[in-house]
Structure formats: C-alpha cells, structure tokens
C-alpha cells in the first residue's frame, strides 16, 4: 500500500508544473559559486524504445549530482549547442567553442521484461576521445539508481576518487505540533529522493547511525521519559533494544566492522563512552570522568574513538583508544566543538563549532601536517555534520524560518545546496555507506 | 578539573546554607526520618486526613509554592540559581510530608549546540535539582531524574527570551 501510494505520489509530482515541483522538494539551490570547477555538459538521454518512456530524466540527475559535488560546473540545458546521444554524433568544435572540458551523452532503450537499458559515454572534448562507455539495465523504479551510478562513474573517471552519489542518507523529520507531533526516521537517496519512513514515533528520535553494510540503523528514542538505544534492520523492519539502562542511553555509532556499537550511557550517574559487543552485549567503558562525555565516533581502522567532552570547559573533541585508557584533546580552535564526523582517511574532522550565539560547521584538515581549519557553513544554528563515504561532501542540519533544513556542502566549502524536504522540520542527517563494497 | 571541583564544592556549600536559611523562613515542621521508611509507609489516600502543618495532596493544586514546578538555568549551567531555592524547599517538604509521593525530574536544554551533549546537560540540571531536594531533606528514593535534552522545547523561536524558557527542569509528580 505504501509503495502504491509513493508511486501515485511520484506520478502526481511529475504532472505538476515546475513552480509547484520546486515546493515539493526539488529545489536546487546552489548558494555558493565555484569558478574553479571543471566544466562538463550532460546532454539529454532520450528514450529511444517503443514502449512507455521511463519517468526518470537520467541526464538531469547526473548533472545535478555532479554540480552538487562542487567539483563540476554543469552547462544549463538551454545552452547546449547540439543534442547528440552517441559519441560518433558529437561535433567537438561546437563544445570546445563554449569551453566545455567534458561531455556526457547517452540514450535509454528497451531491454525486455519491462526493463530499460541506459547507455552512456563520457567524452574528453579537448582530446576528442571517449573516456567511458557503459550500459546499465534496470526496472523503471530503479532508474534514479542508474543515474547516480553513472554520476559516480563519471566522477571517478575524471577525479580519480570514488563517487558517493549512489548512497543513502538517514535523518529525522518532525511533523505536526504540540501533542500531535510525529517523529520519523527517514531513509532517502543521497539527493533526498525516494524518502521513506522506516520508524515513526510520538516521542523524539535522534542520532541515527548506519551499520557499515547499510543494512541497519542504530538510533535513540524515548520510552517513559527515558532515552533508549535501538538497532533497526531496514529490510525486515525488525527493531531491537540494545541499551535501556538507568539514565541516558545515547549517541550510538557502529564500529567499522559492524560488530560493536560505541554509545553514551549515564548508568553510573554521569555520561561516559562505552563500547558494546553486539554479539555478547558485553560493555567496555572507555571513559571515566565527571565531565559529559558523549557522541563517540570511530576512526576508520576501529582502533580509536573520538568523542565530545566538556572535561576542560566548553565541549571539545577528544580521542581515546577503543580499548579505553587516557584520552587526549583533538580540537583547540573554537570555543565549542561537538558532534565530530571523521573522514575515512582520518585526516579530516568536521565539527559543529560554536562561538557566541553562532554555531557553524567547521572542518579540521590535517592532510598537510599541522591542522588547518575552514568553515563550511554560515550559521547561525548549524549542527550534525556527516561526511559522505568519499569525504568529498558533507551533510548538516541548519535552522531557517523556525524549521530545520538539511544542506549538503562540498568539503572545500565552495558549493552548498539545500536538500528540499516537503513539509516538516528535519534534523540529524547521517550519510550512509557505499551501496556495494569494493 | 581543580577549578571545577572547587566550584562544585562551593555550589553545594551555598545550596546547603541557603536550604537551611530558607527552611527557617517558611517555619517548617522538623523533618521526619524518611530514609528507612520509604516504600513501607502506608500512604494516606488523596482524600485522607491532613495533619496541620503538613502538606497534603490537595496542596499541589492550591499552594502557591508547590504549584511552581519549573526551575530555570543559565546558559550551559547546571547550578541552581538562589531564586529557585524556595521552590526546592517546599517540594522537599512535600516529599518528607508525603513519603508515598514520587517525583520525576525532567531536564531540558535550549536548542544551541549538539543534541547529544544537550541530553547530558539536561541530565545534569535534573541531577542538580535532585541534589538540592535531597539537601533540603527530600529522599532520593522518591525522585527519578531524566533528560530530554533539547527535544521538548516549550518555546520554539531562536532567541534568548525563548532559550531561557527552555533551559529548565520540570517537576512532575507521578504519585501525589
């Protein structure tokens, strides 16, 4: 029934004029510019079969993904000098004349059994050569996945970094007011399409965290006024309570091997960081300090746990061995640093950084040795940074006009885009892992 | 650490002094020993007889002091402000007078900063009120403390007048 409704909704959205569409969650809102980005054109990929055309505009999705990354500057459809669908049809000088470095062409064909075959080519305009030429076959309902996979392949071929467009995100959406307030844990594509509620509650939900294989979400809910940590299996909808101790049960975060969960418990009377073995449920206490210790997040190799602590005054990020021991302070710039997200190579740490009444997303980059800080968002109440699995972009939550909204921002801070959400107040974004291991 | 410990000790000392000072002011009856009797005392029902000078369940709806159920805090602080000591004292007296009563303290924070950190801050505030109630003679066995962090604001605008209403501990009686 829900699937049928979502299909009907999709159909409805497609029949609306563009103005209404923008309000329904399609707003593409690049708030920063990027003159250094690589110019790329994505030509329309028309349906050339004999049946019903797919609903998905693959070229538009590929272009939007590439633009959102901050690494590319895409050519508006109105400025295309021609509309080739195959490499051999391309008149290269026409693209060179408008300073395009790269061109993506393609078409959609029938593949039998109600499936479609999307063929595409990535072309180097200056060298007049083909860099990629592939075909992907999928059902009509999976054509957005196809588009994101094409964007990933183009991104990787040109930049040498794996693309992370074909990924999912999780976040919390709040609808209604007062006693009718409803909290939903949402899972959506990386561009916030195909949003589905996976958990609904009349009590607050927070801190979703993905298992490394993308099959489960850990999160915090409330029962009888007390916080509880759950693990939810997305495919089956099964939900398990993993922590319901006295006091706070919060901030769950799967270990990189998926076998352990770092979390915050105040069962001793004060919030401390623990690691739970998900098989045996055995707990290891990592911190023991009268300050508030919370928001654990793992290093990529699982050997260390970063966390937020106010042991030295206002909250800052600290790191401790995953087996416990003494903690050392990591952040020294900014009066308030919390909610650390660590890039897979461990070189970048994003935080919600506070100064006075302004909270912005900041990033500490140690790639070149000593840490360099940059600000990724304008404030005033930005929080919950979450790196994409390739660390080239982040999601975060902001407040605008009295409601929560989500933004994606490139790690170089050059392009920010608000992810449209139809209705409600959204927060607590968590960027999921790659869909396929490599 | 040293500064922090010292300030905590100082805070507790101030609270205790205030508790004594205030309890004289309201001329309470001497506290009965509730420590060992919690849970074994037969509660007098809500309509039961009320001893003069002792709070009864009806006072929760009528007594000016007991009707105040919210304690407010300064930004990033969990120190009980002196102006809330009188509220703590009357609720502590109620807990002593009604050993069968049970109280849930719900700690809250404003929207600024991280949600998980604010869960911790809300719990600290609830603990501060719990400690003050116990310092004023209430029994810890009657009190539970929880935190909602910034998840349940009473006011949703992003400004200080709103934030100060959200930095609070709510006193709720689960049993009168």
User: Which CATH number covers residue B154?
Assistant: 3.30.1330.60
The Cα A39–Cα A102 span in angstroms is: 7
Taking CB atoms and an 8 Å limit, are A222 and B148 in contact across chains? Answer: yes
Query: Angle formed by the axes of helices B2-25 and B115-135, to 10°?
Result: 40
> For tokens 């003679």, what's the residue?
B137
Give the pair of three-digit tokens for residue B162: 């709103």
Q: Is residue B77 part of a domain?
A: yes
pLDDT tier, A177 (very low <50, low <70, confident <90, very high otherwise):
confident
pLDDT of residue B50 exceeding 80 = no
Q: In the prediction, which pLDDT does A36 show?
A: 78
The verdict on B112 touching A (C-beta cutoff 8 Å) is yes
B65 found inside a domain:
no
Q: Is A167 on the interface with B (CB under 8 A)?
A: no
Q: A105-137 burial string, b = 16+ CB within 10 Å, else e?
A: bbbbeebeeeebbbbbbbbbbeeeeebbeeebe
CA B35, distance to chain mean position in Å, is 18
pLDDT of residue A296: 98
Rg (CA), chain A: 23
Helices in chain B by DSSP H: which ranges? 2-25, 59-62, 85-97, 115-135, 160-166
Sorted by where each starts, the structural domains of chain A and their CATH numbers stand as 35-159 (3.40.50.10070), 167-434 (2.120.10.30)
Q: How far apart are CA A293 and CA A274, in angstroms?
A: 10
Residue B22 has pLDDT above 60, yes or no: no
* Contact residues, chain B, for A399 at CB < 8 Å: 111, 158
Ramachandran region, residue B24 (left: φ > 0; alpha: ψ -120 to 50; beta: rest):
alpha
Q: Is B106 part of a structural domain of the chain? A: yes
User: Is the bond into B42 cis (omega within 30 degrees of 0)?
Assistant: no
Give me the phi and psi of A255, to 5 degrees please. -70, 160
Do A122 and A157 contact (CB within 8 A), yes or no? yes
Looking at the complex, report in whole angstroms how far the Cα of residue B129 sits from the nearest Cα belonging to chain A.
14
In a domain, residue B109? The reply is yes
Condensed to tens digits (0 to 9), the pLDDT of residues B92-142 reads 999 999 999 999 999 999 999 999 999 999 999 999 999 999 999 999 999
What pLDDT shows up at residue A8? 39
Whether B17 has a pLDDT exceeding 80, the answer reads no
Examine residue B20 and state whether it is found in any structural domain, yes or no: yes
The model's confidence at residue B5, banded by pLDDT at 50, 70 and 90, is very low
Nearest to A306 by CA among A315, A316, A314, A297: A297
Q: Decide if B81 is inside a domain.
A: yes
Q: How many domains does chain B have?
A: 1
Containing structural domain, residue B15: 2-26+71-175
Residue numbers of A between 292 and 351 with CB closer than 8 Å to B = 292, 294-295, 308, 310-311, 314-315, 336, 338-339
Q: How far apart are CA B70 and CA B72, in angstroms?
A: 6
Q: Rounded CA gap, A210 and A213, in Å? A: 8
Residue B13 domain flag: yes
């Amino acid at each position: 029934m829900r699937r049928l409704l979502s299909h009907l909704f999709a159909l409805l959205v497609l029949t609306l004029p563009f103005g209404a569409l923008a309000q329904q969650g399609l707003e593409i809102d690049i708030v920063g510019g990027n003159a250094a980005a690589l110019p790329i054109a994505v030509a329309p990929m028309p349906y050339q079969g004999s049946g019903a055309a797919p609903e998905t505009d693959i070229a538009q999705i590929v272009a939007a993904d590439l633009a959102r990354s901050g690494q590319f500057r895409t050519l508006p459809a109105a400025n295309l000098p021609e509309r080739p669908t195959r490499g051999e049809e391309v008149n290269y000088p026409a693209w060179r004349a408008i300073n395009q470095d790269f061109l993506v062409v393609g078409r959609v064909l029938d593949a039998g059994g109600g499936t479609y075959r999307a063929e595409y080519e990535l072309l180097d305009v200056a060298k007049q050569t083909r860099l990629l030429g592939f075909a992907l076959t999928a059902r009509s309902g999976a054509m957005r996945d196809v588009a994101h996979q094409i964007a990933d392949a183009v991104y990787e071929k040109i930049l040498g970094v794996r693309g992370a467009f074909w990924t999912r995100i999780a976040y919390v959406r709040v609808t209604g007011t007062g006693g009718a307030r409803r909290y939903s844990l949402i899972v959506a594509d990386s561009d916030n399409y195909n949003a589905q509620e996976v958990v609904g509650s009349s009590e607050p939900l927070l801190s979703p965290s993905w298992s490394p294989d993308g099959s489960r979400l850990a999160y915090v809910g409330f029962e009888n006024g007390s916080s509880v940590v759950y693990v939810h299996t997305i495919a089956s909808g099964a939900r398990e309570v993993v922590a319901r101790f006295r006091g706070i049960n919060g901030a769950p975060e799967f270990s990189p091997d998926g076998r352990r969960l770092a979390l915050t418990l105040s069962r001793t009377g004060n919030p401390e960081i623990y690691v739970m073995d998900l098989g045996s449920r055995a707990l290891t206490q990592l911190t023991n300090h009268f300050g508030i210790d919370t928001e654990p997040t793992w290093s990529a190799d699982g050997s260390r746990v970063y966390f937020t602590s106010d042991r030295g005054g206002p909250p800052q990020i600290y790191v401790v061995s995953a087996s416990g021991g003494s903690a050392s302070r990591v952040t020294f710039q900014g009066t308030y640093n919390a909610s650390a997200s660590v890039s897979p190579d461990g070189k970048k740490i994003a935080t919600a950084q506070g100064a006075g009444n302004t909270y912005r997303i900041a990033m500490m980059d140690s790639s070149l040795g000593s840490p360099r800080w940059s600000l990724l968002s304008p404030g005033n109440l930005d929080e919950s940074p979450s790196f994409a699995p390739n660390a080239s972009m982040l999601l975060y939550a902001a407040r605008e006009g009295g409601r929560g909204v989500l933004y994606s921002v490139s790690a170089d801070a050059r392009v920010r885009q608000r992810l449209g959400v139809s209705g409600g107040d959204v927060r607590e974004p968590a960027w999921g892992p790659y869909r396929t291991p490599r | 650490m040293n500064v922090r410990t010292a300030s905590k000790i100082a805070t507790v000392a101030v609270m205790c002094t205030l508790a004594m000072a205030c309890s004289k002011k309201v001329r309470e009856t001497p506290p009965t020993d509730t420590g060992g009797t919690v849970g074994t005392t037969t509660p007098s029902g809500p309509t039961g007889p009320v001893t003069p000078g002792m709070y009864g369940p009806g006072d929760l709806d009528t007594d000016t002091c007991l009707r105040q159920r919210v304690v407010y805090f300064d930004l990033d602080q969990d120190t009980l402000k002196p102006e809330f000591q009188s509220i703590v004292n009357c609720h502590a007296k109620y807990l002593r007078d009604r050993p069968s009563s049970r109280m849930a303290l719900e700690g809250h924070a404003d929207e600024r900063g991280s949600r998980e950190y604010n869960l911790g801050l809300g719990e600290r505030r609830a603990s501060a009120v719990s400690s003050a109630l116990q310092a004023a003679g209430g029994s810890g066995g009657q009190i539970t403390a929880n935190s909602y962090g910034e998840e349940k604001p009473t006011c949703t605008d992003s400004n200080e007048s709103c934030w100060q209403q959200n930095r609070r501990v709510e006193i709720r009686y689960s049993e009168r």
